[in-house]
Amino acid sequence: MKLRLIRRDAASRLAMFGAPVLALILTCMTSLVLFALLGVPAGKALHSLLLKPFLSWYSFTEVLLKMAPLLLIAQGLAIGFRANVFNIGAEGQFVIGALCASAFPVYFPEGNFPLMLPAMIIAGGVGGTIYAGIAAGLRIRFGASEILVTLMLTFIAIQVLNYFLLGPWKDPRGFNFPQTVMFPENALLPLLFENVRPNISLIFALLASLFAYLMMEHHFRGYQLRTSGLSPKAALYAGFNAPKMILLSLALSGLAAGIAGASEVAGPLGQLQRSVATGYGYAAIIVAYVGGLRPLGIIASSFLISVLYIGGDSATVSAGLPVAAVEVFQGMLLAFYLLTFTFIRFRVQIDRSVSA
Amino acid sequence: MSDQPILNLTGVSKRYGTVQANKAIDLSVKPGSIHAVLGENGAGKSTLMKLIYGVEHPDEGIIYWNGEPVHLSRPSDAQALGIGMVFQHFSLFETLNVVQNVSLMVPGKTVDLARKINELGERFGLTVDPNAMVHTLSVGERQRVEIIRCLLLNPKLLILDEPTSVLPPQSVKLLFETLRKLQVDGTAILFISHKLEEIRELCDEATVLRGGEVTGLVDPREHDALALAQMMIGREMPHLGVSTSVVPGETQLRISNLSHPRATRFGTTLENINLDLRAGQIIGIAGISGNGQQELAALISGEIRAHQPDMIVIKKQDVGCLGPMQRRELGFAFVPEERLGRGAVPEMSLADNSLLTAHQKGMLWRGIIKRKVEKTFTRRCIEQFDVRTPGPDAEAGAMSGGNLQKFILGREIMLSPDVMLVSQPTWGVDVGAATAIRRRLLEMRSQGAAILVISEELEELFEICDVLHVLHEGRLSKALPVAETTAEKVGTFMLGAKV
């Protein structure tokens, strides 16, 4: 007996939306078993994970705070993923973006620099773009895999961050902690609501989503990128410029990650410190895929993953769930999503021929 | 010769999803006969052979071998019974030599095998050097290796799937002599083809398939080609109609001293190719695929750049180093031989596939896609070129090869090109659609377009072209005006004659 996957003629729209929902249900069911085995009351754990984020204004705004960088980075990555350009190193571009943005408040700690914030955001974006551009250049010139190069560049970025924090940019009055001075008021992004942390970077992220939607679905450039991803030979036949597609994919994802990095230091952190690299760049890969690489889907998936972040924090505290269990929950979500998605794209045929 | 059939199929059916590939097929092959299975593309010939060779299993029906019902689970079961098969696309390893390839399937020491290969070669006219590397062999020689490999297993029945489609006319004659010797030796042969004249010349029985069903069992020697064709396609043979050839105008495409080294070991190096294509002219490039056809097409389309700009000239402009999009802007269009994944993106709708090359037909406003223009264009293409599809939103990947070819050809013709390159225009296309495609090309010629056709089908080229060239091992023959040449003459060039 053999199992075969056969591509469906058309995946129904209902199924497109059904996949993430089904994946979430399967993840919950499996984790109930897992949590029970850990001796944690399963109901309480799920309550903390999925409901608590909505039960207070504060925790809900924390979800929005997490959502901003995830959404921004994931929109950039998804553009490349659809063009078969796999930028795995958004984390590194995020760190470089944070570094470049921090240069202004570090050298003008009194805030005596006009247009401080725009300069920071632009510097962050440019830094991320150039950093991703290195991978594009190596891929175009030497055929080096952008997957490996972007990943390796992330490790370099973190060492560069360490160098600045332990050396030239270390706060002289910071008790030898590896962090910069606290940024002046005019280097901080305006808040969206009073007394809670979300800032206008969420608006950047939503604007980026709109831009991604218009480009990928309604502009010829997006069409060229999609064609390059679906059939590279058709793109060559049509004469779409392959190096340009690679450069554009990497530059846009680097730009998004760089701006997200700048927004992080100019937002909740208020200074550059080692903990700027918390894995948003990697989590955004999950966000992009769970969102089906579609701009609108990514808005939903970035919200979902943020809920799981905040819920996971509270579950470790109030339900005594180990941190690893929260990570397993997130991993399962991606795995189940890929599984359900496969069954939507393909149907299984069982070959029942008996071997003689 | 006994009357007991060696192979007998009763009521054999096979269904793939919604497609009924074979429906209640009866087939009976007598020992020592050459039995043709005749049918056009998609009639179910290949499926039937896969059932007999144990590659696929029938949903219904029984296969009898020497009167006994058998169940074939895999090709080795069929081989054990004495069934050998030569596939249309060869299954030889190019990096091994002949004996090594043979020994992968046939047990025995290489020394003994080499001796047997020589023996069989002499007996049946299948001479081939046992120690030659396969990648150095011509297509005809490779086919001989495949046949010898089957013969070493002492088959009682040999299946040949479209064996002549890859051979020049002269080699076809040699193959037929070999098959007749095998017949005298008592081997039954199943000969699959869509070429009527060949079947009338060689076979003593023919089972005709249409739409997965048997539509006739005849002695092909007693029917003329027209009668067989009607059985095969179920209606009158479509006529091409008389076309008025026009006096060729100015040169639209000139290739001069084009040389290009092969990209991989199994590619073909093009050497010093010269060609002159004028307005109102159709030039055909004959030859068997793998002699540089793909490389030449990609160089003309711009998918591969030439080394010098003046090696390829379109409408007096050196384009050798320009990309495909720039060449299209000059009035060039191209229909590639691969439809899915090159000429069209399978996951996209037909409307989005129009955008692939027709975007400069007013489909963009500052880069923004004008969906209405895109749809209108696609609808017009579907109507004018008789594309059978639910509409512009249907996915390209869900269409049959012939329909998709009509769409791609239609899209390129609607660009109203001055110069068009068409590669293998009717591969995998049914007879009716193939005629429609050829008629379109002739119409374009009357309107003054310059057309270059690369094809393996000699009859097709003779039907529509004004001038032929033959591409063999990366070299292009001199121009042969169709009116002054014959299939035999073209065949000598396909075999490597110089000048």
Structural domain harbouring A101: 82-295
**Best residue of B14, B342, B361, B393 to probe chain A, by most A CBs closer than 10 Å:** B342
The DSSP symbol for B450 reads E
Two tokens, residue A316 = 């470790």
pLDDT bracket for residue A9 (50, 70, 90): low
Sketch out chain B's domains with CATH numbers: 7-233 (3.40.50.300), 238-331+417-499 (3.40.50.300), 346-414 (no CATH)
Query: A349 vs chain B: nearest CA distance in angstroms?
Result: 10
Q: What is the 3-state secondary structure (H, E, C) of A274-337?
A: HHHCCCHHHHHHHHHHHCCCCHHHHHHHHHHHHHHHHHHHHHHHHCCCCHHHHHHHHHHHHHHH
In a domain, A74, yes or no: no
Amino acid at A88: I
Closest CA in chain B for residue A217: B369
What is the C-alpha separation between A131 and B142, in angstroms, rounded? Answer: 52
How close are the terminal C-alpha atoms of chain B, in Å? 49
pLDDT in tens, A172-216: 888 888 999 999 999 999 999 989 999 999 999 999 999 999 999
Residues contacting B134, CB < 8 A, separation 6+: B92, B93, B94, B95, B96, B97, B98, B101, B142, B145
Q: What is the largest CA-CA distance in chain A?
A: 85
Cβ–Cβ gap A220/B57 under 8 Å: no
Asked if B13 and B58 count as a contact pair (C-beta separation under 8 A), the reply is: yes
Which residues in chain B have their CB less than 8 angstroms from residue A236's CB? 303, 324, 342
What is the C-alpha separation between A81 and B35, in angstroms, rounded? Answer: 53
| A154 has a pLDDT exceeding 70 | yes
Of the partner residues B73, B323, B344, the one whose CB lies closest to the CB of residue A234: B344
Of residues A312 and B332, the one with the higher pLDDT is: B332
Place of tokens 């299948």: B126
Q: What is the predicted pLDDT for the residue at A356?
A: 35
Cβ–Cβ gap A220/B359 under 8 Å: yes
Q: What is the largest CA-CA distance in chain B?
A: 77
Distance of CA B345 to the CA centre of its chain: 22
Two tokens, residue A188 = 């901080």
Query: A81 vs chain B: nearest CA distance in angstroms?
Result: 16
On whether any CB of chain A is under 8 Å from the CB of B368, the answer is yes
SS3 content of chain B, % helix, strand, coil (to 5): 35, 25, 40
Of residues A66 and B223, the one with the higher pLDDT is: A66
pLDDT bracket for residue A20 (50, 70, 90): confident
Q: Is B333 exposed, middle or buried (0-12, 13-18, 19+ CB in 10 A)?
A: buried
Of residues A220 and B265, the one with the higher pLDDT is: A220
| A332 has a pLDDT exceeding 50 | yes
Q: What is the predicted pLDDT for the residue at A8?
A: 65
Q: What is the predicted pLDDT for the residue at B87?
A: 80
Q: What is the predicted pLDDT for the residue at A348?
A: 73
In a domain, A180, yes or no: yes
Q: What is the predicted pLDDT for the residue at B237?
A: 62
| A336 has a pLDDT exceeding 80 | yes
What is the C-alpha separation between B187 and B31, in angstroms, rounded? Answer: 6
In a domain, A197, yes or no: yes
On whether any CB of chain A is under 8 Å from the CB of B349, the answer is no
Cβ–Cβ gap B364/A233 under 8 Å: no
B423-442 burial, b at 16+ Cβ within 10 Å, e below that, comes to bbbbbbbbbbbbbbbbbbbb
Cβ–Cβ gap B344/A354 under 8 Å: no
Average pLDDT score, chain B: 88
On whether any CB of chain A is under 8 Å from the CB of B338, the answer is yes
Of residues A71 and B177, the one with the higher pLDDT is: A71
Weakest-pLDDT range from A2-11, A261-270, B253-262, B280-289:
A2-11
Cβ–Cβ gap B352/A230 under 8 Å: no
| B178 has a pLDDT exceeding 90 | no
Which residues in chain B have their CB less than 8 angstroms from residue A240's CB? 325
On whether any CB of chain A is under 8 Å from the CB of B60, the answer is no
Percent above pLDDT 90 for chain B: 47
Residues of A in CB contact (< 8 Å) with B are 6-7, 9-10, 218-221, 223, 226-227, 230-231, 233-234, 236-241, 353-356
Of the partner residues B17, B325, B342, the one whose CB lies closest to the CB of residue A234: B342
Other Cβ atoms less than 10 A from the Cβ of B371: the count is 14
Cβ–Cβ gap B324/A239 under 8 Å: yes
DSSP string for B169-234: HHHHHHHHHHHHHHHHTT-EEEEEES-HHHHHHH-SEEEEEETTEEEEEE-GGGS-HHHHHHHHHS
Closest CA in chain A for residue B342: A234
Domain count, chain A: 1
Two tokens, residue A95 = 């760190």
In a domain, A174, yes or no: yes
Please state the rounded mean pLDDT for residues A121-134: 98
pLDDT bracket for residue B426 (50, 70, 90): confident
What is the C-alpha separation between B299 and B172, in angstroms, rounded? Answer: 31
The DSSP symbol for B264 reads S
Percent above pLDDT 70 for chain B: 96
Number of CB pairs < 8 Å for A and B?
76
pLDDT bracket for residue B326 (50, 70, 90): very high
Which residues in chain A have their CB less than 8 angstroms from residue B395's CB? 9-10
What is the C-alpha separation between A266 and A272, in angstroms, rounded? Answer: 9
In whole angstroms, how far apart are CA B269 and each of B194, B307, B313?
32, 13, 20
Average pLDDT score, chain A: 90
Cβ–Cβ gap A238/B301 under 8 Å: no
Query: A339 vs chain B: nearest CA distance in angstroms?
Result: 20
Q: Give φ, ψ of B264 to 5 degrees.
A: -130, 175
| B466 has a pLDDT exceeding 90 | yes
pLDDT in tens, B292-312: 999 999 999 999 999 999 999
| B266 has a pLDDT exceeding 80 | no
| A334 has a pLDDT exceeding 90 | no
Of the partner residues A223, A234, A238, the one whose CB lies closest to the CB of residue B341: A234
Of the partner residues A7, A233, A239, the one whose CB lies closest to the CB of residue B342: A233
Of the partner residues B17, B72, B369, the one whose CB lies closest to the CB of residue A220: B369
In a domain, A230, yes or no: yes
| B332 has a pLDDT exceeding 60 | yes
In a domain, A250, yes or no: yes
In a domain, A124, yes or no: yes
Q: Give φ, ψ of B342 to 5 degrees.
A: -130, -60
pLDDT bracket for residue B185 (50, 70, 90): confident
How close are the terminal C-alpha atoms of chain A, in Å? 12
Of the partner residues B73, B345, B368, the one whose CB lies closest to the CB of residue A234: B345
Of residues B188 and A337, the one with the higher pLDDT is: B188
Of the partner residues B342, B347, B368, the one whose CB lies closest to the CB of residue A218: B368
On whether any CB of chain A is under 8 Å from the CB of B73, the answer is yes
Asked if A135 and A100 count as a contact pair (C-beta separation under 8 A), the reply is: no
Query: A227 vs chain B: nearest CA distance in angstroms?
Result: 7
Paired sense of beta strands B251-260 and B270-278, if any: antiparallel
Which residues in chain A have their CB less than 8 angstroms from residue B323's CB? 239, 241
Asked if B418 and B315 count as a contact pair (C-beta separation under 8 A), the reply is: yes
Of residues A81 and B290, the one with the higher pLDDT is: A81
What is the C-alpha separation between B62 and B208, in angstroms, rounded? Answer: 19
What is the C-alpha separation between A138 and A129, in angstroms, rounded? Answer: 14
Q: Which helix (H) or strand (E) holds B389?
A: none
Which residues in chain A have their CB less than 8 angstroms from residue B359's CB? 220
Q: Which helix (H) or strand (E) holds A32?
A: helix A13-37
Q: According to the per-residue pLDDT averaged within each range, which of B149-158, B160-169, B396-405 is highest?
A: B149-158
Other Cβ atoms less than 10 A from the Cβ of A239: the count is 22
Which residues in chain B have their CB less than 8 angstroms from residue A354's CB? 73
DSSP string for B5-58: -SEEEEEEEEEETTEEEEEEEEEEE-TT-EEEEE--TTSSHHHHHHHHTTSS--
Residues contacting B194, CB < 8 A, separation 6+: B38, B39, B40, B41, B162, B232
Cβ–Cβ gap A355/B73 under 8 Å: yes
Cβ–Cβ gap A356/B303 under 8 Å: no
pLDDT in tens, B218-258: 898 888 877 888 888 777 666 666 566 678 889 999 999 99
In a domain, A179, yes or no: yes
Q: What is the predicted pLDDT for the residue at A355?
A: 40
Q: Which helix (H) or strand (E) holds B293?
A: helix B293-301
Cβ–Cβ gap B369/A237 under 8 Å: no
Q: Which helix (H) or strand (E) holds B373?
A: helix B371-384
pLDDT in tens, A276-288: 998 999 999 989 9
Cβ–Cβ gap B73/A9 under 8 Å: no
pLDDT in tens, A300-316: 999 998 998 898 888 88
Please state the rounded mean pLDDT for residues A165-170: 92
Q: Give φ, ψ of B84 to 5 degrees.
A: -115, 150
| A88 has a pLDDT exceeding 90 | yes
